[in-house]
C-alpha cells in the first residue's frame, strides 16, 4: 500500500450534485422516500406493515428513565426474546417491543439519509423532525451507554448473549453511521455523542483482555461504522475495536459455538461452520465470497477500511481476492450479487441463474461500499467500473421510477406466472412493493443515493479523483488553496463530460478522471486520449493514464476547460462460458446501462426471441415511461411455434421457422414500472 495513492471520499458539504439524472433520484429520495420512511417509522402508513421503530425507542426511553429514577429498586419486566414480536390486535398495543428485532436500524438509516440530504438541500422542518427524533432515541440510552431497544425492553440481562443472530452490533453500527452522517451534515453532535458512549460501552465488553467477550458481529457493519467514528473523532480506540472484530472473526474455537452449542453436530466438530456470517475462517484466510451477501460485502468494506488505516497488507490481499472472486465469478452483469435466495447468499462460482437470481438491492449497495473503499486505497478503474455498473443497474432497479415502491430482489428474467405459482420463485416479485415488514432496502437506497457524490469523488490533499460522471459543483482544497470545479455530464445517455476549473490564485493540483471500461477510445479536448501506461508532458502539464485513470498534474490558473468524450456505443456482451445459463446468449449494453426486453414493448413469450445475426442496434433518445432515456432497438427473430393449440407436448424436431422482428430494449433499471409483465436481460443468439 502506498499512502500517496490513497484518497478519502469528499465531504458532501463541499459538493453540490446538479446532475439531471442523479438529482432526480436524490429528489425522489428527498421528497418521497424520506418522508414516507418517517411515516413508516411512526406506524402511520395505512397500507404497510407497521415498523414500531420510534415506538420502541419511546418505550425504551420510559424504561431507561424509570431505571434511573428507581435505582436499586428498579425491577425489570421481561419479555420473550423472539425474532419478530407482533401485536395480536393493532388496537391494543402493550408497552413492549414490536417488530423485527433489528428495527432500531430503521431509524438509524433514516437519520443517515436525512443527514446526507440536508447537505444538498436545506430543510429546516426536516431538520427539526430529525432533532426531535434524535432526542427520543437518546432518551432510550442507558447510563452505561447501551442503546438497543430490543434488549432494553425485553431483557437487559441478556445483552450480547446472541451475537450470531440478534443484531445488536448491527444496530450499533447503523446508529453510528447515522450519527456520524448527521454530525457531518449539520454540526450537531447529540447523536454522535450517544454513539461514542455506546461504542465505549461496547469496547468495555469486547476485547482480548480477561473477562471480555471475544465475539464479533453476526451481521457485519460495526467494522466500517467504527472506522467512520474513528475518522470523525480521531480516537484510536474505535479503530482498535474495529480491528478486534475483524481479527477475531472466524478464529477457532468458534465464538458462536459457545453461544450455540447445538450448532455443533457430534462428529462434525472440525467442519467449517458459519459461512453464512463469513465466520468460517479467519478473514485473512478467506478467498471466496460466501454466505449472506449483504453481510459479506459489509464485512469486506470494513476489512478494506482497516487495511487502509493500519497498512495491513495481508488484510488488503484478502480484500483483493474476495473482490476478484465476486466480480469474476459471482456477479450478475447488472452488478447484482447473491445468486441464491437460500440464505440470501452467494452461490458457487459461475452459478448465476437469471430467473431465480436473488441479487438483493442491499447487496449491490454493499458492493458499492466495498468498491469505494478499494478505490480509497488505490484508484483503479476496475473498482469504479463495478461501482458504476451496480449503481446504474442493479441498485436503481430497486426503486420504482416514482420512488414509491421497491424491489428487494432483482432478477434478470421474470415470468409473472412463475412469480405467482412457483414456490421456488416466491422471492421474485413481478412488481415492486410499497414497503416490507423488515424493510432494509428502501432506507439503504435512501442513504446511498443521498450521498452519491461521496462515491463519485474522492480526494487526497492535492488530488481529486473522479470515479463517476455526474453534473456537480465542487470545492477542492489543495494545500490551503481553493479550486472550484464545475462538472457537466449527460451520463448515462451521452458520454461527453465538461469540467470547468476555476481558481482565485494558481493552484497545483492533480485531477484524475476515470476512463470507463466500456469505452474503447475517448477524446480529451477533441484529441485522441492517452492509453494505459502512456505519459505526456507539455506546457507544464503532465498527463498520464494509470490504472484506468487519466491523471492531469498541473498548476491551475482558473478558466481551464476539459472536455472529455467517452463515446457510448451499443455493445453486445456475453458471459464466461462457465455461466451455463448464459451460453448462446448476449446482453445489450450502452455506456454504463444494461438493457432488457419487457413484455410491454415486445409482447408475451419473450423466450421465442433471438437476436438477428446482424442486430443493427439503434440507440434512440426518447421520452418513455415518463422519463427521458435512451432506448435501443435491435433486429431480432421470433420463433414461429410449430403449433399453437393444445396437442403434442413433444414432437419431431423440425428446423425452426422465424419471422423478422424489431426488438425494443429499455434500461434494466426502468423495468417493472408498467405493471406485471415478462422481462429478460439475456437473449438467445442462435449462433
Q: Which range, of 122-130, 201-209, 255-263, 607-615, touches a copy of itself by CB under 8 A?
A: 607-615
Pick between residue 69 and residue 687 the one whose CB is nearest to a copy of itself. Answer: 687
Q: How far is CA 171 from CA 92, 147, 367, 440, in A?
A: 27, 9, 20, 12
Distance CA 27, CA 450 (A): 9
Judged by CB under 8 A, does residue 251 bind a copy of itself?
no
Nearest to 414 by CA among 242, 226, 616, 668: 668
Judged by CB under 8 A, does residue 685 bind a copy of itself?
yes
Site for a copy of itself in 652-681 (CB under 8 A): 652-656
- Which residue in the list 344, 388, 459, 599 is annotated as catalytic? 344
Local structure of 621: helix, strand or coil: strand
Pick between residue 27 and residue 324 the one whose CB is nearest to a copy of itself. Answer: 324
- Angle, helices 53-70 vs 124-139, to 10°: value is 40
Judged by CB under 8 A, does residue 603 bind a copy of itself?
no
Judged by CB under 8 A, does residue 380 bind a copy of itself?
no
Q: Which of 586, 597, 670, 679 binds a copy of itself (CB under 8 A)?
A: 586
> HEC profile for 125-189?
HHHHHHHHHHHHHHHCCCCCCCCCHHHHHHCHHHCCCCCCCCCHHHHHHHHHHHHHHHHHHHCCC
Distance CA 479, CA 276 (A): 46
Q: How far is CA 158 from CA 81, 175, 218, in A?
A: 9, 20, 16
Cis preceding-peptide flag for 389 (omega within 30 of 0)? no
Task: Order across the sheet with 507-514: list the strands.
Answer: 8-9, 457-460, 463-466, 507-514, 549-556, 541-546, 535-538
Q: Which of 53, 120, 347, 472 binds a copy of itself (CB under 8 A)?
A: 347
Judged by CB under 8 A, does residue 267 bind a copy of itself?
no
Q: How far is the CB of 347 from a copy of itself (least distance, A)?
A: 6
Judged by CB under 8 A, does residue 650 bind a copy of itself?
yes
As a whole number of Å, the end-to-end CA separation of the chain is: 46
Nearest to 478 by CA among 457, 456, 458, 460: 460
Distance CA 191, CA 134 (A): 6
Q: How far is the CB of 607 from a copy of itself (least distance, A)?
A: 4
Distance CA 517, CA 385 (A): 6
Q: Which of 415, 483, 511, 552 binds a copy of itself (CB under 8 A)?
A: 415
Local structure of 325: helix, strand or coil: helix
Pick between residue 41 and residue 586 the one whose CB is nearest to a copy of itself. Answer: 586
Q: How far is the CB of 335 from a copy of itself (least distance, A)?
A: 11
Pick between residue 27 and residue 288 the one whose CB is nearest to a copy of itself. Answer: 288
Dihedral of the alpha carbons of 348, 349, 352, 357, in degrees to the nearest 10: 40
Q: Grid coordinates standing for 617? A: 442496434
Task: Identify the bridge partners of residue 501 per DSSP, sorted by sequence position.
Answer: 485, 560
Local structure of 605: helix, strand or coil: coil
Provide the mask over 530-569, with x wherever binding to a copy of itself is found by CB under 8 A and - wherever it is not: ----------------------------------------
The answer to whether the beta carbons of residues 562 and 587 sit under 8 Å apart is no
User: Is 344 an annotated catalytic residue?
Assistant: yes
Q: How far is the CB of 183 from a copy of itself (least distance, A)?
A: 40
- Which residue in the list 171, 362, 419, 440 is annotated as catalytic? 440
Task: Identify the bridge partners of residue 665 per DSSP, sorted by sequence position.
Answer: 632
Q: How far is the CB of 80 from a copy of itself (least distance, A)?
A: 21
The answer to whether the beta carbons of residues 542 and 536 sit under 8 Å apart is yes
Residue 436's CB is within 10 A of a number of other CB atoms, namely 16
Judged by CB under 8 A, does residue 121 bind a copy of itself?
no
Q: Greatest CA span in the chain, whole angstroms? A: 86
- Give the binding-site size for a copy of itself (rule: CB under 8 A): 58
- Quickly tell me which residue has 476496475 as its cell: 382
Q: Which of 236, 285, 402, 417 binds a copy of itself (CB under 8 A)?
A: 417
Pick between residue 69 and residue 655 the one whose CB is nearest to a copy of itself. Answer: 655
- The two beta strands, 463-466 and 507-514, are parallel
Provide the mask over 273-312, with x wherever binding to a copy of itself is found by CB under 8 A and - wherever it is not: ----------------------------------------
Local structure of 494: helix, strand or coil: coil
Judged by CB under 8 A, does residue 505 bind a copy of itself?
no
Cis preceding-peptide flag for 253 (omega within 30 of 0)? yes
Q: Which of 89, 423, 539, 622 binds a copy of itself (CB under 8 A)?
A: 423
Judged by CB under 8 A, does residue 422 bind a copy of itself?
yes
Judged by CB under 8 A, does residue 342 bind a copy of itself?
yes
Site for a copy of itself in 350-379 (CB under 8 A): 351, 356
Judged by CB under 8 A, does residue 574 bind a copy of itself?
yes
Pick between residue 181 and residue 357 the one whose CB is nearest to a copy of itself. Answer: 357
Q: Which range, of 71-79, 302-310, 469-477, 601-609, touches a copy of itself by CB under 8 A?
A: 601-609
The answer to whether the beta carbons of residues 274 and 254 sit under 8 Å apart is yes
Q: How far is the CB of 648 from a copy of itself (least distance, A)?
A: 7
Q: Which run of H or of E encompasses 528?
A: strand 527-528
Q: Which range, of 237-245, 277-285, 312-320, 326-334, touches a copy of itself by CB under 8 A?
A: 326-334
| DSSP-assigned letter for residue 249 | T
Q: How far is the CB of 328 from a copy of itself (least distance, A)?
A: 5
Pick between residue 225 and residue 515 the one whose CB is nearest to a copy of itself. Answer: 515
Judged by CB under 8 A, does residue 642 bind a copy of itself?
yes
User: Is 659 an annotated catalytic residue?
Assistant: no
Q: Which of 418, 483, 564, 679 binds a copy of itself (CB under 8 A)?
A: 418
Q: Which of 584, 620, 628, 662 binds a copy of itself (CB under 8 A)?
A: 584
Catalytic residue numbers?
344, 440
Q: For binding to a copy of itself (CB under 8 A), which residues are involved?
A: 324, 327-329, 331, 333, 340-343, 347-348, 351, 356, 415, 417-418, 421-424, 571-580, 583-584, 586-587, 605, 607-608, 610, 639, 641-643, 646-656, 684-687
Amino acid at each position: 500500500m502506498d499512502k500517496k495513492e490513497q484518497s478519502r471520499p469528499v465531504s458532501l458539504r463541499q459538493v453540490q450534485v446538479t446532475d439531471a439524472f442523479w438529482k432526480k433520484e436524490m429528489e425522489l429520495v428527498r421528497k418521497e422516500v424520506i418522508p414516507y420512511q418517517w411515516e413508516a417509522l411512526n406506524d402511520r402508513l395505512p397500507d404497510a406493515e407497521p415498523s414500531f421503530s420510534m415506538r420502541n425507542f419511546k418505550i425504551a426511553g420510559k424504561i431507561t428513565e424509570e431505571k434511573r429514577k428507581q435505582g436499586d429498586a428498579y425491577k425489570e419486566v421481561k419479555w420473550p426474546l423472539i425474532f419478530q414480536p407482533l401485536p395480536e390486535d393493532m388496537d391494543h398495543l402493550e408497552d413492549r417491543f414490536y417488530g423485527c428485532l433489528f428495527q432500531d436500524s430503521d431509524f438509524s438509516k433514516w437519520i443517515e439519509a436525512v443527514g446526507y440530504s440536508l447537505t444538498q438541500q436545506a430543510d429546516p422542518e426536516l431538520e427539526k423532525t430529525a432533532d426531535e427524533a434524535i432526542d427520543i432515541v437518546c432518551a432510550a440510552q442507558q447510563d452505561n451507554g447501551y442503546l438497543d431497544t430490543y434488549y432494553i425492553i425485553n431483557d437487559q440481562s441478556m445483552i450480547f448473549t446472541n451475537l450470531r443472530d440478534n443484531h445488536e452490533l448491527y444496530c450499533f453500527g447503523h446508529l453510528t453511521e447515522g450519527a456520524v452522517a448527521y454530525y457531518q451534515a449539520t454540526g450537531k453532535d447529540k447523536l454522535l455523542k450517544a454513539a461514542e458512549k455506546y461504542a465505549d460501552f461496547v469496547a468495555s465488553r469486547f476485547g482480548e483482555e480477561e473477562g471480555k467477550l471475544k465475539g464479533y458481529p453476526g451481521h457485519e457493519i460495526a467494522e466500517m461504522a467504527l472506522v467512520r467514528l474513528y475518522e470523525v473523532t480521531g480516537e484510536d480506540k474505535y479503530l482498535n475495536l474495529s480491528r478486534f472484530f475483524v481479527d477475531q472473526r472466524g478464529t477457532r474455537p468458534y465464538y458462536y459455538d459457545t453461544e450455540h452449542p447445538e450448532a455443533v453436530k457430534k462428529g462434525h466438530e472440525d467442519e467449517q461452520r458459519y459461512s453464512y456470517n463469513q465466520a468460517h475462517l479467519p478473514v485473512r484466510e478467506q478467498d471466496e465470497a460466501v454466505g449472506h451477501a449483504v453481510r459479506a460485502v459489509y464485512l469486506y468494506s470494513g476489512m478494506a477500511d482497516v487495511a487502509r488505516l493500519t497498512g495491513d497488507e495481508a488484510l488488503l490481499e484478502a480484500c483483493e481476492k474476495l473482490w476478484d472472486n465476486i466480480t469474476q465469478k459471482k456477479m450478475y452483469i447488472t452488478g447484482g450479487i447473491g445468486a441464491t435466495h437460500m440464505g440470501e447468499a452467494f452461490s458457487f462460482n459461475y452459478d448465476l441463474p437469471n430467473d431465480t437470481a436473488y441479487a438483493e438491492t442491499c447487496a449491490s449497495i454493499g458492493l458499492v461500499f466495498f468498491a469505494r473503499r478499494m478505490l480509497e486505497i488505490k484508484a483503479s478503474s476496475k473498482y469504479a467500473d463495478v461501482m458504476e455498473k451496480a449503481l446504474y443497474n442493479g441498485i436503481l432497479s430497486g426503486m420504482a421510477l416514482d420512488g414509491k415502491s421497491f424491489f428487494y430482489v432483482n432478477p434478470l428474467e421474470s415470468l409473472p406466472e412463475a412469480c405467482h405459482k412457483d414456490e421456488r420463485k416466491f422471492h421474485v416479485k413481478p412488481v415492486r412493493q410499497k414497503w416490507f415488514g423488515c424493510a432494509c432496502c428502501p432506507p439503504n437506497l435512501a442513504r446511498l443515493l443521498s450521498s452519491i457524490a461521496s462515491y463519485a469523488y474522492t480526494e487526497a490533499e492535492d488530488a481529486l479523483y473522479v470515479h463517476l460522471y455526474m453534473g456537480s459543483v465542487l470545492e477542492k482544497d489543495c494545500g490551503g488553496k481553493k479550486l472550484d470545479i464545475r462538472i457537466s455530464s449527460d451520463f448515462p445517455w451521452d458520454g461527453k463530460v465538461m469540467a470547468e476549473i476555476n481558481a482565485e490564485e494558481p493552484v497545483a493540483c492533480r485531477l484524475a478522471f476515470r476512463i470507463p471500461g466500456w469505452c474503447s477510445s475517448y477524446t480529451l479536448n477533441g484529441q485522441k486520449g492517452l492509453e494505459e501506461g502512456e505519459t505526456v508532458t507539455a506546457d507544464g502539464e503532465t498527463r498520464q493514464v494509470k490504472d484506468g485513470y487519466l491523471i492531469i498534474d498541473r498548476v491551475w490558473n482558473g478558466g481551464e476547460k476539459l472536455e472529455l468524450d467517452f463515446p457510448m456505443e451499443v455493445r453486445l456482451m456475453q458471459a464466461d462460458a462457465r455461466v451455463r445459463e448464459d451460453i448462446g446468449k448476449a446482453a445489450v449494453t450502452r455506456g454504463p446501462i444494461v438493457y432488457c426486453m419487457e413484455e410491454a414493448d415486445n409482447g408475451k413469450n419473450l423466450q421465442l426471441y433471438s437476436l438477428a445475426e446482424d442486430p443493427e442496434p439503434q440507440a434512440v433518445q426518447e421520452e418513455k415511461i415518463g422519463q427521458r432515456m435512451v432506448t435501443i432497438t435491435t433486429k431480432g427473430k421470433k420463433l414461429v411455434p410449430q403449433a399453437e393449440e393444445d396437442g403434442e407436448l413433444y414432437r419431431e424436431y423440425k428446423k425452426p421457422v422465424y419471422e423478422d422482428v424489431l426488438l425494443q430494449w429499455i434500461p434494466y433499471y426502468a423495468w417493472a414500472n408498467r405493471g406485471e409483465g415478462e422481462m429478460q436481460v439475456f437473449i438467445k443468439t442462435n449462433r
